[in-house]
C-alpha cells in the first residue's frame, strides 16, 4: 500500500492548541511540508511573534527564538547577518508586522535582507481578544471598534504587502489565503517561492496569508472561510504582488532597475 499523506518530518508530534477553524495550524503544516520538500529543516531558523502563534516552536521542529512584539524583521536581520548560511523566517500577525513592526519590516525589506516573512492577516489582534488591527476592514466590529471601524476616526485597512512591494530590496511578495483547498495549495507554492528567493540570495520575500479567526470574528469555521472569500479579498485581493526574482541575481550584475 502506498502512503500518500503523512505528518511532515519537520512537524513535531504535538496537538495544536489553536481554535477550531483557525488558519495557523494549516499554515504550520504547509511550512513544514515545504521544509521537508526543500530539504532545509536543518538550515531554517524561525522567529515566532508574541500572539496566538507564540507557541509555534511547540510544533515546528526547527531552531526558533522569540522576539519582542514587532521586532521580528530586526531580529532576523541580526541573525542572518551573523550567520548567512541560515534560512531565517519571521512568522508575524497583522498587528505585529503592519502596526508596531512597520518600520522594522519596511527597512529590512529595503535593505534586501535575505529573510522571509510569513505574514498572517486575520484582520484582528487575535491573542489579546479581538481588538482592531491595522488590517481591520471598514465598518468591521471589533472590541475596540464596537461601533464598527469608522475610517474617519480609526483610519483605513492597511495594505502592507503593496507598501512593502514599493521598496527595491523586496523581490517576491504574494497574497494568498487558506480558506479553500485551492487557496491552500497556492499558499504552499508561494511559501516555497519565498524561501527559494532567500536560498538564491536575491532579497526580501514576504507571503501574506489571509487566515480565518472564527473565535474573534464570532463565526463558525465555515462562515469564517466564506467571510475571507466574500469580504476580506475585496480589500486584500489575492495574487502575486511582486516578483522580480527572475530579473535579479545575487551578484548584482542583473538588477531589476
Partner 1 sequence: MYGNAAIGEAAIRAGCQCYFGYPITPQNELTEYMATNLSRRAGCSFVQAESEVSAINMVYGASLAGVRTMTSSSSPGISLKQEGISYLAACELPAVIVNISRGGPGLGSISAAQSDYFQSTRGGGHGDYRTIVLAPSSVQELADLTHRAFDLADKYRIPVIILGDGMLGQMMEPVEFKYDAPSELPVRSDALRGAKGRPSRIVKTFTSKPTDLEELNWSLFRRYRLIEKEETTYEIYMVEDAELVVVAFGVAARIAKGAIRNARANGLKVGMFRPITLWPFPYEKISELTQTTKHLLVFEMNMGQMIEDVKLAVEGKREISFYGRPGGVIPTPSEVLRVITRLYYQKGLKIEK
User: Closest CB to partner 1 among 87 and 191?
Assistant: 87
* Count of Cβ atoms closer than 10 Å to residue 165 Cβ: 18
Is the CB of residue 254 less than 8 Å from the CB of residue 248?
yes
| Residue 66 DSSP class | -
User: Closest CB to partner 1 among 71 and 248?
Assistant: 71
Scanning 68-76, 130-138, 189-197, 222-230 for contacts with partner 1 by CB under 8 A, the matching segment is: 68-76
- Examine residue 24 and tell whether it contacts partner 1 (CB under 8 A): no
What CA–CA distance (Å, rounded) separates 211 from 122? 5
| Residue 212 DSSP class | -
Scanning 73-81, 131-139, 140-148, 196-204 for contacts with partner 1 by CB under 8 A, the matching segment is: 73-81
Is the CB of residue 102 less than 8 Å from the CB of residue 74?
no
Is the CB of residue 161 less than 8 Å from the CB of residue 178?
no
- Examine residue 65 and tell whether it contacts partner 1 (CB under 8 A): yes
- Examine residue 107 and tell whether it contacts partner 1 (CB under 8 A): yes
Q: Which of 83, 129, 237, 239: binder of partner 1 (CB under 8 A)? A: 83
- Examine residue 78 and tell whether it contacts partner 1 (CB under 8 A): yes
Q: Which of 34, 62, 133, 207: binder of partner 1 (CB under 8 A)? A: 62
| Minimum CB distance to partner 1, residue 53 (Å) | 12
Is the CB of residue 205 less than 8 Å from the CB of residue 192?
no
Rounded-to-10 torsion of CA 128, 238, 195, 33: 80
Residues that bind partner 1 (CB under 8 A): 41-45, 50, 54, 57, 60-68, 71, 74-83, 85-87, 103-104, 106-107, 111
Amino acid at each position: 500500500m502506498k502512503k500518500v499523506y503523512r505528518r511532515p518530518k519537520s512537524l513535531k508530534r504535538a496537538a495544536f492548541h489553536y481554535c477550531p477553524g483557525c488558519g495557523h495550524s494549516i499554515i504550520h503544516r504547509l511550512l513544514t511540508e515545504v521544509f521537508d520538500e526543500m530539504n532545509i529543516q536543518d538550515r531554517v531558523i524561525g522567529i515566532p511573534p508574541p500572539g496566538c502563534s507564540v507557541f509555534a516552536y511547540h510544533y515546528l521542529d526547527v531552531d526558533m527564538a522569540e522576539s519582542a512584539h514587532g521586532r521580528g524583521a530586526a531580529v532576523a536581520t541580526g541573525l542572518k547577518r551573523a550567520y548567512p548560511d541560515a534560512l531565517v523566517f519571521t512568522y508575524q500577525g497583522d498587528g505585529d508586522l503592519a502596526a508596531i513592526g512597520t518600520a522594522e519590516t519596511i527597512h529590512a525589506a529595503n535593505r534586501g535582507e535575505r529573510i522571509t516573512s510569513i505574514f498572517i492577516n486575520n484582520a484582528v489582534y487575535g491573542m489579546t481578544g479581538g481588538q482592531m488591527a491595522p488590517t481591520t476592514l471598514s465598518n468591521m466590529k471589533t472590541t475596540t471598534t464596537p461601533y464598527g471601524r469608522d475610517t474617519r476616526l480609526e483610519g483605513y485597512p492597511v495594505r502592507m504587502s503593496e507598501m512593502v512591494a514599493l521598496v527595491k530590496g523586496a523581490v517576491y511578495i504574494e497574497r494568498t489565503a487558506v480558506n479553500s483547498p485551492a487557496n491552500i495549495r497556492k499558499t504552499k507554492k508561494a511559501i516555497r517561492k519565498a524561501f527559494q528567493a532567500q536560498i538564491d540570495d536575491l532579497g526580501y520575500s514576504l507571503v501574506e496569508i489571509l487566515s480565518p479567526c472564527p473565535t474573534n470574528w464570532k463565526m463558525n469555521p465555515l462562515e469564517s472561510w466564506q467571510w475571507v472569500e466574500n469580504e476580506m479579498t475585496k480589500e486584500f485581493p489575492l495574487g502575486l504582488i511582486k516578483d522580480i526574482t527572475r530579473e535579479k541575481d545575487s551578484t548584482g550584475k542583473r538588477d531589476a532597475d
